[in-house]
Structures are given as C-alpha cells and as structure tokens.
Amino acid sequence: GENVEQHPSTLSVQEGDSAVIKCTYSDSASNYFPWYKQELGKRPQLIIDIRSNVGEKKDQRIAVTLNKTAKHFSLHITETQPEDSAVYFCAATPRNNYGQNFVFGPGTRLSVLP
Amino acid sequence: GAGVSQSPRYKVAKRGQDVALRCDPISGHVSLFWYQQALGQGPEFLTYFQNEAQLDKSGLPSDRFFAERPEGSVSTLKIQRTQQEDSAVYLCASSLAPGGTTEAFFGQGTRLTVV
C-alpha cells in the first residue's frame, strides 16, 4: 500500500525565518496532496493542497511544491510567526479497488521561537 | 451544522466495555472517513463510506471494530470489548466528492481512554 514519509519530525525556527517540511510517497497513482495543520487538542485543518497536474501552488506565506517524477512534495512557510507553531501533516491519495483514500505522514512538530 | 461534529468529545471505558462513537458530517458530503490517531502520530485510516456504502474497511484493526452509516449521513463507530491499545483519538472526516479527491473536513475527535 501507499507509504508516506515526512521529515523532519521536529523543526524549530526563529520568528521570521522560513520553514520547509518534506514528504515522499510511494504510489504513483496518487493525484491529490493536502497539507493539514493541527494545533494541540484541536482538529486537523487544511492549509493548502496541490493536485498532480500542478508543480507549485502559493497562498500568501505558504507554498507547496510537487515533484511527480521523484514522488515528493514540500511545504514552505515564509516569515514564520509564533501562531504557525503546530503539528503539520502531509497526505497522499493512493488508488485502490475502492477509489481513493487519504494516507497521512507521521507529522512534523514546528516550533516558532519569538 | 457548520462543520463535522463528533460525540462524545471524551470517553473513558473500562476494559471489556463496548463503546459507540458518533459522527455528524457536513450536510451533503458524500464521503465519510474514520481515522485513529495515537498520541504524537498521524491519523491512521480505519474505514471509508461513500454515502451509505462502506467501500473500504481495510484499516479496521480487528473484528471488534464496526462502523455504519445507514442513511448516508450520520455514522457510528463501535468498538466491542475495548482493550487498552484502543486508547486513542478517533477522528471523523467528510468530503464533498467521492474518495480522497477533495478537501476532507475533520471533526474535533473523540478521545477514548480504556482503563
């Protein structure tokens, strides 16, 4: 089945610096790649997503890049702020006999230090 | 409602007890997913419904786990004879389109503690 790896598991940056989180996936049929942010005790919330027909997508301080050939995608956060501190999960959507599902990476705990 | 709603938010069960967790998805959403999230881990897939049909239950860890969505809306995840390793947060998510093709909206989860 699909295997999603995510690195690093923890990341600390100074406020104002950039943060980059990388994920790899194994199923070349995956075609939708969302990123979720989960604050402590709260539900995961979508922050950005990308489809396999696009190489890059940007939304203000957040961007995602996708390399289909290498089967990896990355989250970029610029000008980090303390409120960016959370756990971030990437996901891929492999196909199986039943359609598509979300397979999540293990998460990256981002700490933005003031 | 405005979002996905799960109840109860917290559940403490004695080992061997049966529990039922409820999920109210966003109205009109075709897809409904259940995930199990252990502390410090990513959500792990349990099962997927498209309307009332349970299309994928490959993630259910044992036959003690059972899920249903009889009318294609509200879903219930039932765990029989709970064990300590069942302790986790159970997340429900719904999405408008079939399968994992559009944004999944998550509920706040039910934190199950088996003592």
Which of A35, A38, A4, A33 has the alpha carbon at shortest distance from A20? A35
Structure tokens at A62: 């957040």
* pLDDT average, residue stretch B88-101: 91
**Could B42 and A104 be called an inter-chain contact, meaning their C-beta atoms sit closer than 8 Å?**
yes
At A68-87, the pLDDT tens digits run 999 999 999 999 999 999 99
pLDDT > 80? residue B1: no
**Could B56 and A102 be called an inter-chain contact, meaning their C-beta atoms sit closer than 8 Å?**
no
DSSP string, B25-62: --TT--EEEEEEE-TTS--EEEEEEETTEEEE-TT--S
Structure tokens at A10: 């923890």
pLDDT > 90? residue A60: yes
DSSP lists the bridge partners of residue A113 as A14
Closest residue in B to A39 (Cα) is: B108
Q: How confident is the model at residue A88 (pLDDT cuts 50, 70, 90)?
A: very high
3-state secondary structure of A17: coil
3-state secondary structure of B111: strand
- Predicted pLDDT of residue B94: 96
Q: What is the DSSP letter of B10?
A: E
**Could B33 and A96 be called an inter-chain contact, meaning their C-beta atoms sit closer than 8 Å?**
no
Of A36, A98, A104, the CB nearest to B56: A98
- Predicted pLDDT of residue A98: 64
Which of B42, B26, B43, A38 has the alpha carbon at shortest distance from B34? B43
pLDDT > 90? residue A105: yes
Please report residues of A whose CB lies closer than 8 A to that of B24: none
pLDDT > 90? residue B22: yes
Q: Which residue has 């950039």 as its token pair?
A: A18
Q: How far apart are CA A90 and CA A106, in angstroms?
A: 8
* pLDDT average, residue stretch B24-50: 94
- Predicted pLDDT of residue B99: 79
- Predicted pLDDT of residue A35: 97
Percent of chain B at pLDDT exceeding 70: 99
At A7-51, the pLDDT tens digits run 999 999 999 999 999 999 999 888 899 999 999 989 999 999 999
**Could A46 and B103 be called an inter-chain contact, meaning their C-beta atoms sit closer than 8 Å?**
yes
Q: How far apart are CA B108 and CA B41, in angstroms?
A: 16
What's the maximum distance between 2 C-alpha atoms anywhere in chain B? Answer: 38
Q: Are strands B110-114 and B10-13 parallel, antiparallel or unpaired?
A: parallel
- Predicted pLDDT of residue A97: 60
Structure tokens at B64: 């003690």
Alpha-carbon distance A15 to nearest alpha carbon in chain B (angstroms): 24
**Could A102 and B44 be called an inter-chain contact, meaning their C-beta atoms sit closer than 8 Å?**
no
Of A44, A89, A102, the CB nearest to B100: A102
At B38-77, the pLDDT tens digits run 998 999 999 999 999 999 999 999 999 999 999 999 999 9
Residue B9 · residue B73 · CB < 8 Å: no
Q: Which residue has 């998510």 as its token pair?
A: B93
Q: How confident is the model at residue A99 (pLDDT cuts 50, 70, 90)?
A: low
3-state secondary structure of A49: strand
Alpha-carbon distance B15 to nearest alpha carbon in chain A (angstroms): 24
Percent of chain A at pLDDT exceeding 70: 96
